[in-house]
């Protein structure tokens, strides 16, 4: 059995908000393998994903015209996470899509 390439988590908290248990667990997990966190959507003037990287942990912040509404994790956010995993870039540099 192959080890996982990355761990992808949907998070109901803002990564830059109050530091809580999920932040601690995901940060510790990132010491072992790349972690990609997908936040709930933020309201914006255009549909795009903002990606912030912290060593081996990446945060995908979906910016959507529809704002915070279902689906909370949509196909565009999942495609961004897949691109991070597929490109092996879950923990390098800083990018905005």
- DSSP letter (8 states) at residue 4: P
For 80, the enclosing helix (H) or strand (E) is: helix 75-86
The model scores a pTM over 0.85: no
CA distance 71 to 56: 27
For residue 81, what pLDDT is reported? 96
pLDDT tens for the chain, 97 residues long, are 888 889 999 988 889 988 899 999 999 999 999 999 999 999 999 999 999 999 899 999 999 998 877 888 899 999 999 999 987 544 444 444 4
Residue 36 has what pLDDT? 97
CA distances to 48, 49, 73 from 30, in Å:
25, 21, 21
**Any idea how long the chain is?**
97
Domain range summary for the chain, segments of one domain joined by +: 7-96
Distance, CA of 20 to CA of 63 (rounded, Å):
23
The Cα diameter of the chain in Å comes to: 44
């Amino acid at each position: 059995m192959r080890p996982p390439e990355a761990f992808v988590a949907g998070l109901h908290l803002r990564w830059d908000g109050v530091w809580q248990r999920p932040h601690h667990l995901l940060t510790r997990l990132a010491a072992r393998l790349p972690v990609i966190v997908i936040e709930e959507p933020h309201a914006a003037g255009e549909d795009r994903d903002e990606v912030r990287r912290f060593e081996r942990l990446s945060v995908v912040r979906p910016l959507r015209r529809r704002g915070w509404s279902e689906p909370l994790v949509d196909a565009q956010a999942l495609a961004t996470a897949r691109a991070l995993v597929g490109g092996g870039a879950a923990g390098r540099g800083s990018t905005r899509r």
